[in-house]
Amino acid sequence: MPETALSDRARNTPQSPIRKLAHLAIQAKKAGTHIYKLNIGQPDIKSPREYFDGLRLFDEEVVAYEESQGNENLCKAWSKYINRTLGIHTRPEQFLITVGASEALMFTFMACCDPGDEIIIFDPTYANYLGFATISGIHLVPVLSDMDNNFALPARSSIAGKITDRTRAILLCSPNNPTGTVCSREELRLLFDLCEEHNLFLILDETYREFVYDDLEPFSIFNLESESNRVIVIDSLSKRFSLCGARVGCLLTTNEEVLAMTLKFAQARLAAPTMSQFASAYMLENIKDDFLEGVKNEFRIRRDALYSNLKDIPGVIAHKPQGAFYTVVQLPVADADDFAAYMLGEFSHNGKTVFIAPAAGFYMQQFQGRQQARFAYVLNKNDIEEAIRVLSAGLESYARR
Amino acid sequence: MPETALSDRARNTPQSPIRKLAHLAIQAKKAGTHIYKLNIGQPDIKSPREYFDGLRLFDEEVVAYEESQGNENLCKAWSKYINRTLGIHTRPEQFLITVGASEALMFTFMACCDPGDEIIIFDPTYANYLGFATISGIHLVPVLSDMDNNFALPARSSIAGKITDRTRAILLCSPNNPTGTVCSREELRLLFDLCEEHNLFLILDETYREFVYDDLEPFSIFNLESESNRVIVIDSLSKRFSLCGARVGCLLTTNEEVLAMTLKFAQARLAAPTMSQFASAYMLENIKDDFLEGVKNEFRIRRDALYSNLKDIPGVIAHKPQGAFYTVVQLPVADADDFAAYMLGEFSHNGKTVFIAPAAGFYMQQFQGRQQARFAYVLNKNDIEEAIRVLSAGLESYARR
């Protein structure tokens, strides 16, 4: 009897470029090497006290299903929080609470697209978009953003040139994972107008909205277009409040049909986690604005430490990112995948090494980004400085090997 | 500019038959009517103290991402629990932890099937299977199980007759939602042999495994076939431990390729909730067997109360279910959908009414089950007795209207 074969879509789903070297890291750790993990967007910032306080206030005897559309108080608190911080006017009924932004993206893809339909994205892109697309049978059509131009939004004509009769949406993450680039209001306006012209959805992944530095202020597509039925915002508490493991995200839109359709998907999976939603509602109601100010300041310090130490390494090309907590850096190696594996599998410096995410897996287009890696500046200043010293030693050793 | 159209798959995803009358229930509740909710599998059993204890023991300062395959201690504890209660030999590496059984089913569907492939199921079926199938582009092919035969597994020839060259799997839920029917070892053997013969996956949804009554003992497909690469078990803590809102489920298989492929889906969504997994691991390590014995005994009492009160209502055809906490009942009405809406929207008896789930939505085949409803016996004995009195009054009133 032959083995029962698995589906093509399972075989074609790409491995996460962030996690695919994890087995080497496990071995290095077992061998006693300290690993500076710059590969994954898992901040070391303490989760807010208010989240844990909220959990302790849960006094139901049964951990029952939450409503499929989400905890009512959480929708209210999130809407209030967004309205207060952005000066806009969302309503709680416009929220669908999801298991992280991941599920919100998945629901959005499925609501907007049938298999074979296309969504335009910008290369390099958040790698898991590719996973969701393969799962749901959607073609992501990449428009290359240029490292030499600090990964700014490509020209209108480059984007328009990719629109076909199967295009259903344009998806943008800003502030961007993996590049750290922040879209300007003018660029967002251009994208929205393009969507208007071609009758497309505009999906904005605003997971990192508050993480903008220097003279930038956080803003949302809702600041430009608060009532358009073609706008779908994806949001998450994971990064902003260092609650990656809480798995609380949302989809936000004024489009009632999108809400009704994604609610059907939400009903099929029953509900998002009950206690985590309860605690998140309490946290959003009670947290002070200085929490985020403190976090933002800390990330700015880390960004500066990363950039100023990276830029002096011979052969490294780095830009100063303006948002999120990532940057894509060019390394003086032919194959960053091989170098990243070398760092984990063969190299250590004073018992330490660095885990970076090779950038090729963030590009939809083949043969792009082979010399690049994504760095997540999620460690404190001292650790980042030491990590870059170790990386520099690793590059030298790799070149000599 | 026309409205941006949504996908066919979104429009074709069925509404949950369990939740689609929820808006009427909300109105009735607002009008002050007490509603006995027999529509949804949300038990009122207190969640185990050990789960809340586990939560309090979480002492990390950051609620970070859990590993994509799940919390290591949870996999160990779940494997130990299953091995102890069933006398089998699973290993922690054979588990993938998911956001409830829902996600495990979704991952399994996508790993086994490409769009257009077929999975054989038994009608009536767990309604959300239809949702997952529409989302993932899979055709569910129903084999009708007969109410007159207490929804027992159909004859081998009826099942074999549905197998085509697109069939990839047979999916069975036992003890069954919505019928409460428990498959015998001989029936499971028959299904497994059929899968061997036609090289299909056998997917067993064992969410209700321990809920078997009278002289039945819990068993798993792993008791029959512990090493077969065609067996995938879906499991969940939701019902067994009254932890529906914890969203902790799993996929369990010895098939390493299935584990590797579903892990890629799991990596794309990052991880299941961190603290809920931590607490679940602690609970499984520490809970005593008498918890489940007590729960089972309580459900047996409720089942007896439901059955003995239902069977005497004129025109009602009820069977005594042997497992889970559901039963499908024939009512003396032409359209149970209309009757269920009547009970919520127009009827009350001493300020009370009953919420039941019309069974048509549990059938894949059209025009089946129109006179039937699913009852979840998730309320205590007194409430069930009163609910059936109210239902009986409702039937009389509905007949006279």
Best residue in B1, B3, B7 for a mutation probing chain A (most A CBs within 10 Å) = B7
- How distant is the Cα of B288 from the closest Cα of chain A, in angstroms? 18
B15 closest CA partner among B128, B119, B105, B102? B128
Model pLDDT, residue A4:
75
- pLDDT tens digits, one per residue of A83-96: 999 999 999 999 99
Q: Which of B238, B255, B287 is the last residue of a domain?
A: B287
Whether residues B368 and B388 fall in one domain: yes
For residue B341, give both structure tokens. 């809406």
B204 closest CA partner among B193, B216, B186, B192? B192
* Residue A1 reports pLDDT greater than 70: no
**Spatial contact of A100 and A120, defined as CB atoms under 8 Å apart:** no
Chain A residues touching residue B247 (CB < 8 angstroms): 99, 271-274
Chain B residues touching residue A102 (CB < 8 angstroms): 268-270
* Residue B2 reports pLDDT greater than 70: no
Whether residues B355 and B217 fall in one domain: no
Cβ contact, residue pair A62, B242, below 8 Å: yes
* Residue A115 reports pLDDT greater than 60: yes
Instruction: Label residue A15 by pLDDT band (50, 70, 90).
Output: confident
Chain B residues touching residue A257 (CB < 8 angstroms): 3, 6
Of A44, A230, A276, the CB nearest to B273: A276
Whether residues B64 and B127 fall in one domain: yes
Instruction: Label residue B87 by pLDDT band (50, 70, 90).
Output: very high
**Side-chain half-sphere of B60: how many Cα atoms within 13 Å?**
19
Whether residues A112 and A228 fall in one domain: yes
- How distant is the Cα of A22 from the closest Cα of chain B, in angstroms? 10
Q: Which of A241, A269, A287 is the last residue of a domain?
A: A287
Residue A316 lies in a domain: yes
Q: What is the number of structural domains in chain A?
A: 2
Residue B3 lies in a domain: no
Residue A301 lies in a domain: yes
Model pLDDT, residue B78:
98
Best residue in B11, B15, B63 for a mutation probing chain A (most A CBs within 10 Å) = B63
For residue B154, give both structure tokens. 């159909």
- pLDDT tens digits, one per residue of B282-317: 999 999 989 999 999 999 999 999 999 999 999 999
Task: State the residue range of the domain holding A260.
Answer: 49-287
* Residue A155 reports pLDDT greater than 70: yes
- pLDDT tens digits, one per residue of B358-378: 999 999 988 899 999 999 999
Chain A residues touching residue B139 (CB < 8 angstroms): none
Whether residues A63 and A174 fall in one domain: yes
DSSP B209: T
Whether residues B35 and B69 fall in one domain: no
Nearest-angstrom CA–CA distance, B37 and B379: 8
Inter-CA distances, B252 with A378, B105, B206, B213, Å? 34, 11, 10, 25
Whether residues A82 and A197 fall in one domain: yes
Whether residues B325 and B381 fall in one domain: yes
| Average pLDDT score over residue span A380-387 | 96
Residue A331 lies in a domain: yes
Residue B81 lies in a domain: yes
Instruction: Label residue B281 by pLDDT band (50, 70, 90).
Output: very high
Model pLDDT, residue A131:
86
Nearest-angstrom CA–CA distance, B279 and B241: 12
A354 closest CA partner among A33, A16, A18, A44? A33
Of A11, A64, A276, the CB nearest to B244: A64
* Residue A359 reports pLDDT greater than 90: yes
Best residue in B267, B295, B379 for a mutation probing chain A (most A CBs within 10 Å) = B267
Chain A residues touching residue B270 (CB < 8 angstroms): 100, 102, 128, 244
Instruction: Label residue B35 by pLDDT band (50, 70, 90).
Output: very high
pTM above 0.90, yes or no: yes
Chain A residues touching residue B257 (CB < 8 angstroms): 3, 6
Whether residues A236 and A372 fall in one domain: no
Looking at every residue in chain B, the average pLDDT score rounds to: 95
Chains A and B form CB pairs within 8 A to the count of 237
Cβ contact, residue pair B244, A63, below 8 Å: yes
Q: Residue A110's closest chain B neighbor by CA?
A: B10
Whether residues A126 and A184 fall in one domain: yes
Q: Which of B287, B305, B336 is the last residue of a domain?
A: B287
- pLDDT tens digits, one per residue of B317-341: 999 999 999 999 999 999 999 999 9
Cβ contact, residue pair A131, B10, below 8 Å: no
Cβ contact, residue pair B61, A47, below 8 Å: yes
Whether residues A251 and A352 fall in one domain: no
* Residue A2 reports pLDDT greater than 60: no
Cβ contact, residue pair B46, A62, below 8 Å: yes
- pLDDT tens digits, one per residue of A206-227: 999 999 999 999 999 999 999 9
